[in-house]
Chains A and B, each alone.
Chain A
């Protein structure tokens, strides 16, 4: 067996690490928007306030992970970036609209207005945009994983010309991709609820989010199950990867253990543990996909090696990442220490 640690593999792996970070941090910020929309009960306003406080100082930093994914993709795997941008133009453009509206509406609400009605209007926009964006991100990933994009590439090559819908809509508008979109939404909402149990200073507020986290876990379970059925029932590329590859069994086992662990921890009110377990669960799901389609970046057409940039570029990018990490991680640690270290600080501020 040849070594897995080739330069292209390492950079593909790091790109996925960046995506992983975006999902864990940025994803939870979107999940926060979901709970903003679903805020209910007598503590509705406190719930929204907690979400605002939790997202406020960090969402822009969390958001940069997505930019890093894009940059790494076009630097290290330019043909993949080009192909995905062409065939997934529509969902990606829609996702961008969601990103723009989410970020700006959130800021307009926090900084802009003092009037309740106006605040509520921005809050509504923020929440709806938070709902749409993860679904479109998931759809795009689903379109890659299922071989939809790869299939359209072949079609394009074979015929030279093709129908608009066949090239620009069919690859991503499939039951499987939409399923992955809903799964992404459920996962982000679940993550956010679990994180918020840790951030809540008030006991009752914490219970609110504990209940939401448990419902979120159930939603994740149901949606994941449905997606798996669709994958097996339809002719996607993921089915075999998910079930037959050497990684499959240990990965599914680990993911299941993490999921149960998260639920147990929530049940037992061990919120910090639940946070770790939920993050582990989401991470394992993501890597299950990545490893399931290895060595393809766009299955079943483009492999990591075929798409890789020249070695010198990869080498330098690796150095840039190492250098960047030395600046980034201490800064991030500082950011989170200032704002996340003391949940009770929010209460003191009120």
Chain B
């Protein structure tokens, strides 16, 4: 079929296929990775509460969550393995250029994976083999190493956004300093925002599911306790997220002005730039139409100075523009849903301060239930801002994505194959979880109802 395809000449559809495959694989992996970061925390909290109070519903909760987590974790591990190969299968020239520079965080991440996988094995299979406190300790190690692996891999991504730690000589990196490459301007904001995102997303997804079930079955002790544990993790993270997003936005404004301009649909360079809510960016006409404009809002948010100058896309050659519309829409989605979750989180917090039960407030339950998928949507959207907003660069202003792709033609084939594979896996996972994890708490209801009480 590809008999005479010339090697070394990249054609556009191959590049597009490679980008799509990478984006698809990452978008798939991140869901499971986030669960792998968040769920261990929820399980450890639940098990500790059981250990402290003797309330068996918490143990039931931890066990049931563990079952779901086992399935999700396995898919996360295999899809992560695919990714580490794909770095080479799709972007060999990127790795040739950057492997020695960003290998460090990946190596450290490797050991985080080891401790995570090892203690997850101990946690999942060790319920009856080790003491309770040891079991909780194993869960804690899983939680810590999950967060650590996120930290390390995001540090590698931060280097792609703000490359440091080397000089360029004849197109090749020299004076490589892997430590400097880990501490780039993007590293702290991205890491903070991602780790909080993982807790927000898992916390709200679990809280949302149980809030939904409480709306139908309000006295169920299982769901009440689940809701309280999930909110404990999700609420603080959701409230912190806009602040962390602000830190991210300011680093982007300073170091990747084209990405900020795309995210905001800002075509002109101007002082007192407005903040746009919504709107349809028109690349050809170089304007964003129908947006609600808040005067000076962008200058204020991006530089904390209402008079600051914001660079628009016009400051860059068009060949260096990222695709504006997807970045703009993705950014609006993230900020919109993020604001909603933060407000709901504050509502839940106030409810607790006033010594009320979130479970007693049907409107709050509805608000939480609606938020169930939002954290994950925010994460996909946020990564779209980061990754698509970095285009056309794979290493910002140093290596173009088009120059990094593999010379092998026919890349649409692996793209289609892996997409089908992941669709299949995704469907199975949803089906298994809905049948075995969501369907089960009716048992708990029967067992736990008498002892349920008011305790939260």
Q: Which residues of A line the B interface, CB within 8 A?
A: 56-58, 60-61, 63-64, 66-68, 70-72, 74-76, 78-79, 81-86, 89, 92-93, 96-97, 99-104, 106-108, 110-113, 156, 160-165, 167-168, 309-310, 312-313, 316-317, 320-321, 323-324, 327-328, 331-332, 334-335, 338-339, 345, 349
Contacts and interface: CB of A to CB of B under 8 A. Distances in A.
B300 interface: no
A349 B129 CA distance: 10
A75 B109 CA distance: 13
B7 A167 contact: yes
B432 interface: yes
Q: What does DSSP make chain A's interface, helix, strand, loop or mixed?
A: helix
B74 A104 contact: yes
Contact of A104 (B67, B121, B425): B425
A107 B76 CA distance: 12
B81 A164 contact: no
Given A74-B88, A78-B99, A339-B125, A313 B176 contact: yes
B78 interface: yes
Nearest to A314: B100
9 contacts: A57-B122, A57-B124, A57-B125, A74-B103, A85-B89, A96-B81, A164-B3, A164-B5, A324-B111
Contacts of A68: 110, 114
Contacts of A83: 92
B270 interface: no
Contacts of A71: 84, 103, 106-107, 109-110
B88 A82 contact: yes
B398 interface: no
Nearest to A318: B107
Interface string B84-112: 11011100110111111101101111110
B126 interface: yes
A111 B67 contact: yes
Nearest to B93: A82
A112 B117 contact: no
Given A160-B8, A338-B126, A60 B103 contact: no
Contacts of A64: 110, 113-114, 117
Interface in B394-412: 406-410
A321 B107 contact: yes
Contacts, number: 227
Given A163-B3, A163-B4, A67 B113 contact: yes
A63 B125 contact: no
B428 interface: yes
B120 interface: yes
Given A78-B99, A93-B418, 12 more contacts: A57-B122, A70-B84, A75-B103, A76-B103, A84-B88, A85-B92, A97-B421, A104-B425, A161-B8, A163-B3, A165-B3, A335-B121
Nearest to B9: A161
Contact of B92 (A60, A86, A110): A86
Nearest to A331: B118
Interface residues of B, number: 75
B103 A317 contact: yes
A78 B114 contact: no
A63 B81 contact: yes
Given A70-B84, A82-B93, A339-B125, A103 B74 contact: yes
Given A71-B103, A103-B78, A164-B5, A320 B96 contact: no
Given A75-B100, A107-B74, A160-B8, A327 B121 contact: no
Nearest to B175: A310
B323 to A, nearest CB: 27
Contacts of B84: 67, 70-71
B95 to A, nearest CB: 5
A5 to B, nearest CB: 21
Given A60-B77, A92-B85, A100 B176 contact: no
A33 B20 CA distance: 33
A326 B114 CA distance: 12
B179 A316 contact: yes
Nearest to A53: B125
B87 A74 contact: yes
Contacts of A82: 88, 92-93, 95-96, 99
Given A86-B406, A96-B82, A111-B71, A60 B95 contact: no
A85 B82 CA distance: 12
Contact of B7 (A85, A92, A156, A339): A156
Nearest to B181: A313
A335 B120 CA distance: 10
B132 interface: no
A103 B72 CA distance: 11
Interface centre among A74, A102, A309 (most CB of B within 10 A): A74
A309 B103 contact: yes
Contacts of B8: 156, 160-161
B117 A63 contact: yes
A324 B7 contact: no
Interface string B3-35: 111111100000000000000000000000000
Contacts of A317: 103-104, 107
A310 B176 contact: yes
B119 interface: yes
A63 B93 CA distance: 26
Nearest to A77: B99
By Cβ-Cβ distance, the 7 closest A-B pairs, closest first, are A75-B103, A85-B88, A78-B99, A309-B100, A324-B111, A107-B74, A82-B92
